[in-house]
Amino acid sequence: MTNLVRDLMHPGVVSCRPDNSLGQVAQLLAQHHVHSLFIFDGELLPVGVITDYDVLAGEWLSGDVEGLAVMRKMTAGELMSSPVEMVDADVPADEAAVRMREDNIRRLLVIENGKPVGVISVSDFIADLAAKTTIKREKVSDVMSDVYLICRDKTPLTGTLRAMSDSGWRSVVVVNSQGKPLGIFSGLDLIACCDQDKELDSMLVTDVMHPPLLIELDASLQEAAELMIESHHHRILVTDPDNSDSLPLGVISSFDIVSEMARPDSVWQT
């Protein structure tokens, strides 16, 4: 039986008004753990969408006092993308996937009887495919991400932010010229460095990255979770046990472990 958009979408729409500030948008994104907000006008019609990367760009542009003052006055309506891309709930999911791929769309507002009922995004298709795979997941190697964003230790901080915004990655692994991991840079590091007197455009990524935590492929998920809890880190680099100074084999995040716990066949769900 062919899946419909309604079968894969996540129901409900997290929204804001065009006059919401970027600070208010950031609060809503964090509160609901979503990557985007749909913007509705006074008639409750969808007029645009604003993403966490739009907000990240705002943070990047507010590197000085004048820039910050301008960005604080900006509203969701001024940064939103428009028009809103929509799809009917009863459209076959594979048709929606083709449209998203061809038009380079990351999410669609799902409509039923002319009213918004949910959102379908790239992550929903990924989750659907992942749910259909049968993999024994007990070790770090079973759930880690084999692909990750990387930069050299001499990379300017502004260049790193731009790469994160363009690629959609939330963290960057920092290495030296030989590929040895030196640290990880994430959004939390950006927040911390905003309090420094040094201006962002004069900083390197090594000025604000945090030291990496390392773990081996055969370590258990319990070991990884304990290491994250003890260190208050959300990501650990997975290293080659025969050459820890080489490029990491992957990255395991707190989200990877939580996703495993949420699987129907997990010990946490039985």
The residue from 106, 130, 154 where one domain ends is 130
Instruction: Examine the domain organization and report whether 122 and 187 are in the same domain.
Output: no
Q: What is the pLDDT of residues 2-18, one digit of tens each?
A: 689 999 998 999 999 99
CA atoms within 13 A on the CB side of 93: 19
In a domain, 268, yes or no: no
Instruction: Examine the domain organization and report whether 88 and 116 are in the same domain.
Output: yes
Instruction: Examine the domain organization and report whether 237 and 173 are in the same domain.
Output: yes
What average pLDDT is seen over the chain?
82
In a domain, 126, yes or no: yes
Instruction: Examine the domain organization and report whether 119 and 200 are in the same domain.
Output: no
Instruction: Examine the domain organization and report whether 149 and 47 are in the same domain.
Output: no
Q: What is the pLDDT of residues 158-215, one digit of tens each?
A: 888 888 887 888 889 999 998 899 999 887 676 655 545 556 677 899 988 989 999 9
State the CATH number of the domain containing residue 11.
3.10.580.10
For residue 94, give its domain range. Answer: 5-130
For residue 214, the model assigns a pLDDT of 92
The tally of domains found in the chain comes to 2
Instruction: Examine the domain organization and report whether 92 and 161 are in the same domain.
Output: no
Strands (E), the chain: 10-11, 15-16, 36-40, 46-51, 86-88, 107-112, 115-121, 150-152, 171-175, 181-186, 214-216, 235-239, 250-253
Q: What is the pLDDT of residues 96-111, one digit of tens each?
A: 988 988 888 889 999 9
Spatial distance between the Cα atoms of 55 and 25, rounded to a whole number of angstroms: 8
In a domain, 135, yes or no: no
Instruction: Examine the domain organization and report whether 201 and 119 are in the same domain.
Output: no
Q: pTM here?
A: 0.53
Distance of CA 200 to the CA centre of its chain: 22
